[in-house]
């Protein structure tokens, strides 16, 4: 099983719909992140959480919300999806004690298309 | 603002040749740098890292060089293989800010010709 699992892998949704992307990890890491990847723009941080009670906005948080349900679970919601939110979404984890040894561990991504 | 960028968005090399992927960073306070490899349909994977108190680090077929004077990072891949074809990202650690602690470059696509 993957260390960081994202569901769904692919999703097509209509404009205005609410959608949730889920991420779960088995690494026991305390820190979790949601990134968005667009061609030519690299990885941009949406939200991050350093522990269950900690939620922080990233570079591009508008139009998104998150929930850290447990140490192992971090979900990303699009309250009312719009076409320019079509992108590849990645969840990542890290541990405060080993972050400078192994960096972040990424999931396989969710490809979201908003029509 | 602070940024991490790449000199070349695409790089095409012949199988067996050495590859060099470059990255410029702008924050002199960054203390840790990582190279990631992203294959098609997969998430980025850690390749190699280097701390700011080092100027060179070697792994298996990969070497990272850090030049703090000109704020430049490079990834060298020896004897490039078809399996090396991917997008490569550099990242720098710079605490705080809306980009989080790890700031990623935009990526360089490496294509290996057989």
pLDDT value, residue B39: 93
Angle at A30 between CA A27 and CA A35, to 5 degrees: 85
Kindly report the average pLDDT of chain B as a whole number.
88
Size of interface A-B (CB pairs under 8 A): 58
- Joined together, the tokens standing for residue B109 give 């696509």
Contacts of B62 (CB under 8 A, 6+ apart): B35, B47, B48, B75, B76, B77, B78
Query: Which of A10-14, B70-74, B76-80, B106-110 is predicted least confidently?
Result: B106-110
Beta-carbon separation of A43 and B32 below 8 A: no
Beta-carbon separation of B43 and A41 below 8 A: no
- CB hemisphere CA count around A76 (13 angstroms): 34
pLDDT value, residue B111: 95
pLDDT value, residue B1: 33
pLDDT band, residue B101 (cuts 50/70/90):
confident
Q: What are the chain A neighbours of B37 within 8 Å (beta carbons)?
A: none
Q: How far apart are CA A37 and CA B36, in angstroms?
A: 14
pLDDT value, residue B8: 45
pLDDT in tens, B20-45: 999 998 788 898 999 999 998 889 99
Beta-carbon separation of A42 and B41 below 8 A: no
- CB hemisphere CA count around B85 (13 angstroms): 12
Q: Which of B41, B46, B99 sits opposite A103 (nearest CB)?
A: B46
The larger pLDDT score, comparing residue A40 to residue B27, is at: B27
Beta-carbon separation of A43 and B49 below 8 A: no
Kindly report the average pLDDT of chain A as a whole number.
93
């Amino acid at each position: 099983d993957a260390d960081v699992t994202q569901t769904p892998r692919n999703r097509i949704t209509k404009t205005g719909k609410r959608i949730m992307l889920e991420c779960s990890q088995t690494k026991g890491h305390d820190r979790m992140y949601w990134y968005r990847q667009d061609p030519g723009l690299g990885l941009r941080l949406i939200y991050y959480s350093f522990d269950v009670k900690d939620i922080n906005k990233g570079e591009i948080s508008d139009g998104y919300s998150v929930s850290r349900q447990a140490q192992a679970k971090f979900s990303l919601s699009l309250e009312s999806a719009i076409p320019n939110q079509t992108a590849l979404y990645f969840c990542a984890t890290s541990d405060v004690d080993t972050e400078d040894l192994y960096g972040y561990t990424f999931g396989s991504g969710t490809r979201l298309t908003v029509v | 603002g602070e940024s991490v960028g790449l000199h070349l968005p695409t790089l095409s090399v012949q199988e067996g040749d050495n590859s060099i992927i470059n990255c410029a960073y702008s924050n002199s306070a960054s203390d840790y740098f990582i190279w990631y490899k992203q294959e098609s349909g997969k998430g980025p994977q850690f390749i190699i890292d280097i701390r700011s108190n080092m100027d060179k680090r070697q792994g298996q077929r990969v070497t990272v060089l850090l030049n703090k004077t000109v704020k430049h990072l490079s990834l060298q891949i020896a004897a490039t293989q078809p399996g090396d074809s991917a997008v490569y990202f550099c990242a720098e650690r710079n605490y705080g800010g809306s980009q989080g602690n790890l700031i990623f470059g935009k990526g360089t696509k490496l294509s290996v010709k057989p």
